[in-house]
């Protein structure tokens, strides 16, 4: 397994693979890897085969964090991450320092961003106004450096995958994007690097996102005509979440998975997104109703 830390070095390697017609599977991450990330690596391996190359990027992207967010304390453990990648059969880790990804940014001299203007508006985009601009920018840059045939993203960050998929279509990136299912703990909590922030009292309460998703599914299943008013169901889920003393709902939304527009009536096939603070930790989860 190779570790590459420069943009030029990564692109040189990728152009070599491209010249040889090799398939390249790519999993972008912010590190502090868990079994969810590894499931994406395994998916990438299956997609490119043994003759292909699997690249994992580990980069805590500063432009997707707002000034008040957790950039400085975002968990990092490169040694552990590289051991996990090696064990999972990763060929290359791309782990650039900030100046490699954003030349000139430290002195206010970086000025090009990629913006998706529609799907990035609601939910995470409304709660974190500069977040998706940072995501699309860094992912576009990573795609230019790694030149993947296929990139694997997690359904855990469902809106992110939709925004990136739209960018790939709109800007003609020559790659296929695959969205892999959310990996969960035994009690339903979606695996996340941020789960590390949860205290012993908060951790059991964090399952409220999963329980809320199950409640929404049950409500639609039990509805006589297969539809439930979104406003009423949102209220019910908000009340359920409020039963946990450490939990504070940021948003709950039911939306059409194709357009990401909110729906007034929730039916089977609608998509649900949740953001909940548990203590000071902001958790998100998503699922199909």
Q: Which residues contribute to the site for ligand AMP (CB under 6 A)?
A: 29-30, 36-37, 39-40, 153-154, 156-157, 180, 182-183, 190-193
Please identify which of the residues 37, 131, 144, 183 carries the catalytic annotation: 37
34 is catalytic: no
Nearer to ligand AMP, 190 or 228 (CB): 190
In the complex, what is the shortest distance from the CB of residue 59 to ligand AMP, in angstroms, rounded to a whole number? 9
CB neighbour class for 209 (10 Å; exposed up to 12, middle 13-18, buried from 19): buried
Which pair of tokens denotes residue 134?
């940072």
Min separation Cβ 178 and ligand AMP, Å: 10
Q: How far is the CB of 64 from ligand AMP (least distance, A)?
A: 9
Nearer to ligand AMP, 29 or 205 (CB): 29
Maximum Cα–Cα distance across the chain: 61
Smallest distance, ligand AMP to C-beta of residue 32, A? 7
Contacts 24+ apart (CB under 8 A), 199-206: 199/279, 201/246, 202/246, 202/278, 202/279, 202/281, 205/244, 205/245, 205/246, 205/247, 205/278, 206/278, 206/281, 206/283
Cβ-based nearer residue to ligand AMP, 30 or 92: 30
Residue carrying the six token digits 């992110």? 160
Q: Is 123 left (phi over 0), alpha (psi -120 to 50) or beta?
A: left
Nearer to ligand AMP, 253 or 285 (CB): 285
| Residues recognised as catalytic | 37
């Amino acid at each position: 397994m190779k570790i590459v830390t420069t943009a030029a070095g990564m692109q040189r390697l990728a152009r070599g693979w491209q010249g040889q017609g090799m398939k390249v599977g790519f999993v972008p991450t912010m590190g502090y890897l868990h079994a969810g990330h590894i499931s994406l690596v395994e998916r990438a391996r299956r997609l490119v085969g043994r003759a292909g190359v699997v690249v994992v990027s580990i980069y805590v992207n500063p432009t997707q964090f707002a000034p008040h967010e957790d950039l400085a304390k975002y968990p990092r453990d490169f040694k552990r991450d590289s051991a996990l990648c090696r064990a999972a059969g990763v060929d290359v880790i791309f782990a650039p320092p900030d100046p490699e990804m954003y030349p000139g940014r430290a002195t206010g001299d970086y000025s090009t961003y990629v913006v998706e203007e529609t799907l990035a508006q609601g939910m995470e985009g409304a709660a974190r106004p500069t977040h998706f601009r940072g995501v699309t920018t860094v992912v576009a840059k990573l795609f230019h450096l790694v030149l993947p045939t296929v990139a694997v993203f997690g359904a855990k960050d469902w809106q992110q995958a939709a925004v990136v998929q739209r960018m790939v279509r709109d800007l003609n990136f020559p790659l296929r994007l695959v969205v892999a299912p959310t990996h969960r703990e035994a009690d339903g909590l979606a695996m996340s690097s941020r789960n590390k922030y949860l205290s012993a009292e908060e951790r059991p309460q964090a399952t409220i996102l999963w329980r809320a998703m199950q409640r929404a599914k049950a409500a639609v299943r039990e509805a006589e005509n297969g539809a439930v008013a979104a406003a009423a169901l949102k209220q019910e889920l908000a009340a359920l979440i409020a039963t946990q003393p450490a939990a504070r709902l940021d948003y709950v939304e039911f939306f059409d998975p194709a357009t990401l527009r909110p729906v007034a009536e929730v039916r089977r096939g609608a998509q649900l997104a949740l953001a909940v603070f548990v203590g000071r930790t902001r958790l998100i989860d998503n699922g199909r109703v």
